[in-house]
Amino acid sequence: MDIAGSTALVTGAASGLGAATAAALAARGATVYGLDLDKAVAAADPGPEGVTLLPADVTDEEQVRAALARIDADGARLRLAVNCAGIAPSARILGRRGPHDLDLFKAVLEVNLVGTFNVMRLAAQSIARHEPDDNGQRGCVVNTASIAAYEGQVGQIAYAASKAGVAGMTVTAARDLAQYGIRVVTIAPGIVDTPMMAGFSDEVRTGLAEGVTFPKRLAHPDEYARLVTMIAEHDYLNGETIRMDGALRMNAR
């Protein structure tokens, strides 16, 4: 798949992994539409040339459909969808204040798992309408899981469940969408130096980096973005979840 001249949809695009991915795809010649919550779009710095930020909640069907309709109205042909939107609150199954809040658990699954599925299914519908290339390919969906899907830590029960769900969808989604020439690949990052990490002290960040086998540092958002571009261009990558973690295997805490 050629990135140059294609159109991409990136969720969570106002910051972190999504912003880095949107910028990387635009730098490679793609027209990028980035989705994020209204307040995040309003607060975001002007994106690079080739990136248009649109307010949309990934869990809201009508808002995602409206964003896809905007792409159609602009005469663009969607080829790539990248799901980066997510939340990561922490709570134990049983804590000092009692059992895990059920609404919090549902909220994490709603954003991380249901939101990913919602964008994937609607983007696939849009991608499938376009003519395939010479290899029969119409496009690609890249989802974001986490190594917490495999080794969730204390307090990550909701996050781990949601990301395990994303990883678990990968093969089935690839099989479902194969008849339309759409590939599906998931990235499971380790600890990435995103704005969500900004609240941690240098001591905590150093400790987290020490747990990585090699290189002993946090991952950079642009490294995730480079992996997205590689997946998009590598037509034989399909139905796989790729760990991007420096061989990190998370301890219990």
Model pLDDT for residues 69-100, shown as the tens digit of each residue = 999 999 999 999 999 999 999 999 999 999 99
Which residues, in sequence order, are bridge partners of residue 11?
35
pLDDT at 253 over 80: no
pLDDT of residue 30: 98
Query: Is the residue at 51 inside a domain?
Result: yes
Overall number of domains in the chain = 1
Q: What is the CATH number of the domain that holds 130?
A: 3.40.50.720
Residue 37 lies in a domain: yes
Residue 82 counted as domain residue: yes
In a domain, 135, yes or no: yes
Domain span at residue 59? Answer: 7-244
Return d(Cα 94, Cα 101) in angstroms, integer: 9
Question: What are the tokens at 132?
Answer: 């395939």
Main-chain dihedrals φ then ψ at residue 243, nearest 5 degrees:
-80, 130
Is residue 229 in a domain?
yes
Is the pLDDT at 166 greater than 90, yes or no? Answer: yes
Whether residue 1 is contained in a domain is answered as no
**Active-site hit among 159, 180, 224, 236:** 159
- If you average pLDDT over residues 45-49, what whole number do you get? 84
236 is catalytic: no
Cα–Cα distance, 12 to 237 (Å, whole number)? 23
* pTM given for the model: 0.95
Q: Do the beta carbons of residue 253 and residue 157 sit within 8 Å?
A: no
Question: At residue 131, does pLDDT exceed 70?
Answer: yes
Does 95 reside within a domain?
A: yes
pLDDT computed for residue 204 by the predictor: 67
What does the pLDDT average to over 1-28?
97
